[in-house]
Amino acid sequence: MTAPSESPWLVHGGTAASLDRTTGCPVGRERESDEVRDRLGDPAGPRLVLVRGERGAGRSAFLHALGERLRAEGTPVLAVGCVPGDDARPLLLALRLVMALEEHLSGPAHQRAAKPVTEALHAAERRDGTAMAALLRAALARSAPVVVELDDLHLADADSLAVLRGTDFARVPSPVRLLASAVGRGERSARCRNGHGAAPDAAGAAAGKGRTPPHHGLGALEQQGDMPRAHTIVLSRLGPDETTAVVARRLRATPDSGLSRRVRELTHGVPGAIDALLTGWTREGAIRVADGHAFIGVRTPTPVLPDGDRFVGALDALSEPCRVVAGALSILWPLGGQAAELITAATGLSAETVGDAIRELTDAEIVDVGPGSGAAAAGGWTFTVALTAHAVRERLGPLERSRLSATAVEAVWAARDAAGIASETGPPVVTLSDEADAVAYLADRVAEAGHLVDRDRAVLELTAAAKRLHPDSEGRGVLRWCRAVGNLVERPQDRVPALQRYAKAAYQAGDYRTARTIAESILRNLADVLGPHALQDTANLFTAATANDSDWRALSRLATAEWWDELRLPGLVPVTGRALALCGLARWREALDLLARTEEVWATDVRGRVKPDYFRAVAEMVLGRPERFRRALALSEAPNLGVEHVYALATTMFDELLSGRDLHAAEDLSAAQGLAPGRLPPHSVFLRRHLQGRWDEALEPARWMLANNRIHTPAADGCLIPARTAEILLARGRTTSARRLLDSVRDRGEGRPQYSLDAVEAEVQRVLGDPDGAEKTLRRGLDAADAHGHVAGVDELWAALAEVYAERGHTGAALTSLERLERISDRTGSGRTRLRFLLASARVLRQDSPGTARDGLREAVDLARSRSQPFETAVTLVAAADAGAGPPTLLHEAYELFGRTGSALARFRTRAAMREAGITVPGRARATAENERLLATLIAEGLTNRQIATVLRLSEDAVANRLSRLFARTGLRSRTEVVTAVLTGPADRRLALEPWSSSSAAHLV
C-alpha cells in the first residue's frame, strides 16, 4: 500500500491548498445548534425561533445544517426561503408559507383539498392581508408536526411581514415550529465578542439622534409585543480559536500562526468573509500545504473581493455619495475623527453630504463607529470587515488613491509639525492601536502619494519606516517602501544608495531575482557613485542572492576572474564576490588559495577585511581547522562596523555553530551580541529549537520554509533545514515522509556534497532494515565530501558507517571507520564529534572489549548531559543503559526526554527496553494509545506489515495482532480508513490520541 497521492506530504515547495465545502454544523455554532434543537423539540418551548446575525454571519448555512440535523433525527422540515426581489411582490412569503403547510396536512391524504391554496392565490392577487392571515392560521391549525425554515426574512415583502406580525402563534393550536433568519446585529456582548466593532448605541450616537434603524424583517417580528414565547439566537462573530478551526476545516490542514493571524485581521471572525478570503487565496495558489499544515507568505497580497461578493454588493446598492465617501474612508479611516473633515476637503462634497453618507454606511453595517468612543468626532470610524476596506481601496483609480494618500500624509505631517515632533522620529498621529501598524500605514500612504507630497521628506519618512520595522518579519511593507524610495530620488548620489537598500530588502524578503537584478545593475552601471565598501556589500549581496536562487551555473561564472574583469571595480570587490561564490560551490580549497594570493588587496582596512576574513575562517573550519573561526566569534571588529553588519555576521556565525550542534556556544554568542529571539530569521529559529528539543515549535518555521522554497541558510552546510526536519519526522515514525522530503531537496548532478542529507537518508534505510542501502548512501556522501575536502560534518557519516559495519559483523571495516572518526575528533575538538565517537565505539567494541565500551559510554553520558540537547542526551542514556554502563533507571530519564521532543518511535523502543529490564512503564493507558497512534502513523506512511515489523523490531504476527486490535477498538475497517483518520488528526477521535506534541507529553512523564 502507498500513501494517497493527494495527501499533503512534507516536500520542498509544498502543495497548493484547495477548499473543502462539505456541509455540516458550521464551526463555532455547536452551542447555538444544540440550543435551537432543544427549544424546537420542547412541547412547552417557543413556537418561533429567530436566528439573526450580521452580513456574512452564516445564518443560511446555520439554518440548512440545523434542518439536515433535524431531518436525520426524524423531524419533518419544510424550507421556505426568501430571495432578492421578493419585497416587490406583496404577500408572496405568506402565500408560500400557506402552500407549504397545506402540503403537510395532518390526517388522510383524501381529506386534503386545493381550496385553501386557491383562496390564498386570490388573496395575494387582491393584496388582502386579512384573508391571507386567516388562511395562514387555518393552515397552521391543520398542519402535521413540522419545522418550517424561513430563511433571509429581511428580503420578504412588507405585507407578508405584517401578516406574520399579526399572527398570534402562541394562541393558534398547532404543532408547527417556525425557524426564521434575517440580517440583524446582536447586543454588544455578541457584536463585540471578538473585540471588533461597536455597540449599536454607540453607532447610533455617532450617526445622529433620532435616526430610524434599517428595516429588517427580523426587526419587525422581534418588536411584536404579543409574542412572549418567541426566542432569539444571535450568531456572533467567531473568536480566534473558532476562526482558526474554520480555516482548518476549509483547507483540511492546520493553519500556521501567520495564516491564522492574517485571516483574523482581515475578516474579524465573520464566516462569510473568511470563506471569501480563502477562496481568493486558493484561486491564486497562494496558500501552500506542507505536512498537513497550511502557510502563506508574509508578503502575499490580500485578494480583492469580486463584484458579485455580498460585502461589495452591499456597498454597490447604496447611493453614489456613499460609494465616494466609502472609498475615501478606506484610506483615511485611521486618522480618527478628522477623517470626515478630510473627506470633505478631498472629495468636494459638503460636510452635510459626507455626514449623511457615513450614517447610511453605518445603517448598512458597512462601517462602525471607531472603538473607544461613542462620538464620531473622537473615535472616527472603522469598516466592519477589513477585507471590505481593502476591496474598496483597491477599486479606486491610481490617481484617486494617490490624491487621498497625499491628503492623509499632509494631515499627519501637519499634526506632527504642530506638536513639534520630528517627522521621522516620532510615531505617526493615527488612531491605530499598534505602533508598528501605524508606522506601516503612514509609510504606505507616503509611497502611494508619490510625487504629490514633498519628495525629500517622503524619502526620509520611508527610509525611517524601513529601518524601524526591519527585518519586517510580519511583512508590513519594507520592500514596498524601499521600491518607492528608488522611484522618488533623482540625484545619482542618492539614487544608488536607495537602490542598494531596495536590493537588500528584496534579498531579505526572499525575492532573490530582484535582488540579483538590482545589485548587478549597480555593479555594472553605477559603480562610480559608491565607495569600495558599499560596492563590496553589493557584490556580496549579488553573489549570495545568486546562490540562494539556486542558479549554480551563474554562480560558477561568478567564481571566475573573467566575469569580474568585465567590470571596473576596486580590487577588494571582485575578490570578495569570487571568494563567496567559491564557498557557495563548496570549492573551499580554491577559496583559500584565492584569499591567500590576494590578501594584500582585501586586508587593507578593518571594514574591508571582515567578509573575506570570515570566508577564510569558514573555509578552514570546513576543512578541519576551526581555530580561526573560533577566534572570529569574539567579533573584535564590531566597534568598527555598523549595527547592520554586526547583526548579519553574528547571525551567520550563530547558524554555523548550530550547524555543528554546539548549542551552548551559539547561546553565548547570541547573548554577547544581543540577538533577540524575535529578530532571528526563520532558519535560525528552527535550528535553535531543534537542538533545544522544542520540536513542535521547530516544525512550524521548517514547514513554512519548505512550503515557500526558503530553505537556504548562511551556514556552510546548505542542507540543514531539510536534513534536520527529516530527523524529526523519522524520530516520530514518519519514514516515508522523511525520505520524500530528502528526495525533494536534493541537487542532482551539481556535485556539491550533501552529507547531512546522506546521514539522515542512511538512518532511514537502517530503520527500514536496509543496511546495504545505508552503506551505499554513507559511502556516496563520504566520497563527495572527500572530493571537496570536507571534514566538518562528516563525522556523522563515519560514525553511522562504523555502526553499520559492526551490525553486519564487519569488525575490521568498523574499526577503520572508527579510526577516521577519532582523527576528526582530535583534529576539530568538537564535543558533538567526540560524543559520536564514544557512541560508535561502544557499538563496535561491545563484544570484544565490553569494559572499554562501558567506560566510553560513561564519559558519553557526562558529555551529553553537559551539552543540554534532549534528544542527543536520550539516545546516549539508552545506549549506556543497554550496555550496562549505568543503572536501568537511565531508561526512565531517556523516556522522559524522548517524550519532551515527541519522538514516538524512540519512545516505543524505549518502552520495550524498559519492559525487558523489568522497569514499570508509566501511564499504561497512555502508552497503549501511543502504540496505536504510532502503528497508525506507520500505516499512513505506506509501510507493509513486514516493514512495520522491522521498524518496531517485532514479528509480523505481532504486528498483525496489533493491527487487528486497532481495527476492533476504533471501528476502522481498512488501512485506507486508518490513513484518513491519521490525516484528519483531531477531527477523527477514533484513534483516541491527537498527533504527538511535547505539550501532550507534559503530563505523561
Residue 111 has a pLDDT of 52
Residue 185 has a pLDDT of 63
pLDDT per residue over 280-305, tens digit each?
Answer: 999 998 998 887 889 888 788 999 99
Average pLDDT over residues 436-460: 92
Residue 127 has a pLDDT of 94
Collapsed DSSP state (helix, strand, coil) of residue 171: coil
Contact in structure between 191 and 185 (CB atoms under 8 Å): yes
Residue 197 has a pLDDT of 37
CA 199/CA 83 separation, integer angstroms: 29
| pTM for this model (two decimals) | 0.83
Q: Which residues on adjacent β-strands are paired with residue 287?
A: 296
| Phi and psi torsions of 934, nearest 5° | -65, -45
pLDDT per residue over 234-292, tens digit each?
Answer: 999 999 999 999 999 899 888 988 899 999 999 999 999 999 999 999 999 899 888 78
> 463 or 166: whose pLDDT is higher?
463
pLDDT per residue over 909-935, tens digit each?
Answer: 999 999 999 998 988 888 988 999 999
Poorest-pLDDT segment among 126-135, 196-205, 564-573, 963-972: 196-205
Q: Which three cell numbers stand for residue 256?
A: 500556521
pLDDT per residue over 735-747, tens digit each?
Answer: 999 999 999 888 7
Collapsed DSSP state (helix, strand, coil) of residue 646: helix
pLDDT of 106 above 80: no
Band of pLDDT at residue 375, cut at 50, 70 and 90: very low
pLDDT per residue over 108-140, tens digit each?
Answer: 544 555 688 899 999 999 999 999 999 999 999
Q: Which residues on adjacent β-strands are paired with residue 148?
A: 78, 178
pLDDT per residue over 500-541, tens digit each?
Answer: 989 999 998 888 999 999 999 999 998 988 899 999 999 999
C-alpha neighbours within 13 Å on the C-beta side of residue 813: 13
pLDDT of 468 above 90: no
Hey, what long-range contacts does 462-469 have (CB within 8 A, 24 or more apart)? 462/488, 463/424, 463/498, 463/501, 464/424, 464/425, 465/439, 465/440, 466/501, 466/505, 468/439, 469/436, 469/439, 469/440
pLDDT per residue over 591-628, tens digit each?
Answer: 999 999 999 999 989 999 999 999 999 999 999 999 99
pLDDT of 215 above 60: no
pLDDT of 427 above 70: no
Collapsed DSSP state (helix, strand, coil) of residue 432: coil
Environment class of residue 941 by beta-carbon count within 10 Å: exposed (0-12), middle (13-18) or buried (19+)? buried
DSSP assignment of 256-278 = PHHHHHHHHHHHTT-HHHHHHHH
Nearest one of 547, 669, 666, 626 to 795, comparing CA atoms: 626
> 395 or 980: whose pLDDT is higher?
395
Average pLDDT, the chain: 86
Max Cα–Cα distance, the chain, nearest Å? 110
pLDDT per residue over 880-900, tens digit each?
Answer: 999 999 898 999 999 999 999
Q: Which residues on adjacent β-strands are paired with residue 49?
A: 179, 231
CA 773/CA 769 separation, integer angstroms: 9
pLDDT of 984 above 70: no
Please state whether the peptide bond connecting residue 471 to the residue before it is cis, i.e. omega within 30 degrees of 0.
yes
Residue 874 has a pLDDT of 97
Band of pLDDT at residue 170, cut at 50, 70 and 90: confident
